[in-house]
Amino acid sequence: MIVIPAIDIMDGSCVRLLRGAFEQRSTYRHTPLQIAREFESAGITHLHLVDLDGARSGRPVNLKVLETLATNTSLSIDYGGGIRNATHIRQAFEAGANQVNLGTYLFSEEELPGQSLADFGADRLIAAVDSKNGKVAINGWQQQTTRTVSGFMGELAGMGWTFFAVTDISRDGTMAGPDPGFYSPLVEEFPGLKIIGGGGVASMEHLLMLKACGLYAAVTGKALLEGKISPAELSTFIQP
């Protein structure tokens, strides 16, 4: 299992939200580049970069941050937040993203999931499937749809989608631990998919729990930023 550190950007700073609530955030003093370089120095190879300003405004806001990290580190960066059209996707790739997370965008028009695969390829796109009470949430997690996580994943998988970032919003930022009962059924139902999980990770034990679920990768943010897990500890998970 790959472990992917997360950096969330809001107002130019690195922050973490509690359960996706913009008004409940923790702000960290180090710059995104300082944090990314620390990850890189520890041998970490991947980074999950979230443009919270973009998620809130409906357009990418922190492409310059993405470009800075892509230019000054060797990290493989997946970027998301505020991607609402094909132009935004291209802008993210031009700024240095290796993969782009698509969530709200996939709900805007029926043909977009299939068209996006045709335009950009399955290896470069990640379907961001964010779960709120078992249903997919969009628009920066502020709006809950009527689609179930499993149902939506099955529909996209049928089109050829391979990468899925599935977040349990109820656990995100809480450091209360992930829920294996949330991820294990998804891995069992979709054994051929590369499922990336996260939400609530606060220790190496929590990461081992996610690994036992059979996930392709796990995302952790707050635990690293607050020193609950050190970047060096992740060496047992790091893969090229």
Residues carrying an active site annotation: 8, 130
Q: What six digits make up the tokens of 47? A: 């980074």
Residues contacting residue 33 through CB under 8 Å, at least 6 positions apart: 68, 69, 72, 73
Q: Which of 190, 181, 144 is nearest to 199 (CA)?
A: 181
Q: Are strands 13-18 and 21-28 parallel, antiparallel or unpaired?
A: antiparallel
3-state secondary structure of 227: coil
DSSP state letter for 240: -
Cα distance between residue 47 and residue 220, in whole Å: 10
